[in-house]
Chains A and B, each alone.
Chain A
Amino acid sequence: PLGPTPLQKEHQLQFQMMEAAYYHLPQPIDTEKLQTYFHRSPVQTPAHYPQAQLPIYDTVEFYQRLSTETLFFVFYYMEGSKAQYLAAKALKKQSWRFHTKYMMWFQRHEEPKIINDDYEQGTYIYFDYEKWSQRKKEGFTFEYKYLE
């Protein structure tokens, strides 16, 4: 039984300011670290594309199903995010190891020829993020102190 009550003058002023603000709404990008790739501005995809996230999308198990290439894509293009963190964990589970000096991922290609407490030497596969491909490196010395 209360019914509507007329807006007082101060509320009308508030409404005008709110209405003006409505035309400059905050966007997801406004509170996201400046980064060169992939701002959080979701694009409207056709409705028949799956719109909801897969239920376990942010778990290591889900990332382990992704191909190595995809994991490297997530790692190098979504830096500073949980996705990068999960991709790194999934890569390690596929026995890749991150070299903190070269900032690249390496994977043993065969049993190392030399191995001691400080390093191992042998043939490795590494992921070259500039050429975006996996390459072999013969006789590489992998120093454990650079292992992340």
Chain B
Amino acid sequence: LGTDLTGLGLNLNSQESLHPTFAGPFVEQPCRAQDVEYSVPPEYLIN
């Protein structure tokens, strides 16, 4: 009977595209903002 695909951690009703925050095939929830690489100005890389 397959599985309930709404339980795989993807917000299938989202108006936004899912792939930019897709955390991967083995992860239950989308990427958080701190997980997504972003090309910030080099001065921000302080550490």
- Count of chain A residues with Cβ under 8 Å from any Cβ of B? 34
Contact, CB under 8 Å: B29 / A85: no
Contact, CB under 8 Å: A84 / B29: no
Which of A's residues lie within 8 Å of B, judged by CB? Answer: 25-26, 28, 32-33, 35-38, 40, 42, 51-53, 57-58, 74-76, 78-86, 88, 98, 100, 103, 129, 148
Contact, CB under 8 Å: B30 / A85: no
Q: What residues of chain A lie closer than 8 Å to B4, measured between beta carbons?
A: none
Assembled-state Cα–Cα distance A129/B43 (Å): 14
Residue among B21, B23, B40 making CB contact with A28, cutoff 8 Å: B23
Contact, CB under 8 Å: A84 / B43: no
Give the contact-size bracket for chain B.
20 to 34
Chain B binding site: helix, strand, loop or mixed by DSSP? loop
Which of B's residues lie within 8 Å of A, judged by CB? Answer: 21, 23-24, 26-27, 29-38, 40-41, 43-47
21 examples of A-B residue contacts, CB within 8 angstroms: A28-B24, A28-B35, A33-B37, A35-B47, A36-B47, A51-B29, A52-B29, A53-B30, A57-B32, A57-B33, A58-B21, A74-B34, A79-B44, A80-B40, A81-B37, A81-B40, A82-B38, A84-B40, A98-B43, A103-B43, A148-B41
Contact, CB under 8 Å: B46 / A81: no
Of chain A, the residue at the smallest CB distance from B9 is A52
Q: What residues of chain B lie closer than 8 Å to A100, measured between beta carbons?
A: 41, 43
Of chain B, the residue at the smallest CB distance from A57 is B33
Contact, CB under 8 Å: B47 / A79: yes
Assembled-state Cα–Cα distance A83/B40 (Å): 10
Of chain B, the residue at the smallest CB distance from A99 is B43
Given A37-B47, A98-B43, decide whether A78 and B26 contact each other with a Cβ distance below 8 A.
no
Assembled-state Cα–Cα distance A86/B35 (Å): 13
Q: What residues of chain B lie closer than 8 Å to A129, measured between beta carbons?
A: 46
